[in-house]
Amino acid sequence: MNPLSRMWPGPAFTVTFDGRPIEARPGWTVAAALWAAGIVSWRTTRFEGRPRGVLCGIGVCFDCLVTVNDRPNQRACLVPVRPGDVIRTQEGTGHAG
């Protein structure tokens, strides 16, 4: 194994996804933390409730929308994950009602 692949920019920390603790690392996006935890879908479409996750990975397509710390419509592929973040599956538009 390449020794560089075991290097991290800092210690791991915990965030929660739908109430479940997951490990994250400094410099990761929300999407990277979710992927590393084996979670590949965290949004449902507005009308048909179909699962979505990362598609483009660069913030263009909006398929990876997630709710972070009660803020809906956050692009998981762009938002840096921070210690203690509360991440939730986004249903439809992310707004109640």
Residue 74 belongs to a domain with what CATH number? 3.10.20.440
Domain membership flag for residue 96? no
**How far apart, in whole angstroms, are the C-alpha atoms of residue 97 and residue 7?**
45
Strand partners, 51: 44
Q: What would the mean pLDDT of 48-76 be, rounded to a whole number?
A: 88
Domain membership flag for residue 79? yes
Q: Are 75 and 65 in contact (CB under 8 A)?
A: yes
Residue 60 confidence class, pLDDT cut points 50, 70, 90: confident
- Which residue range forms the structural domain that includes residue 36? 12-91
Percentage of residues in the chain with pLDDT exceeding 70?
Answer: 86
Domain membership flag for residue 97? no
Compute CA distances 68 → 4, 6, 7, 20, 75, whole Å: 31, 28, 27, 14, 9
Task: Provide the whole-model pTM.
Answer: 0.83
Counted domains in the chain: 1
pLDDT of residue 48: 83
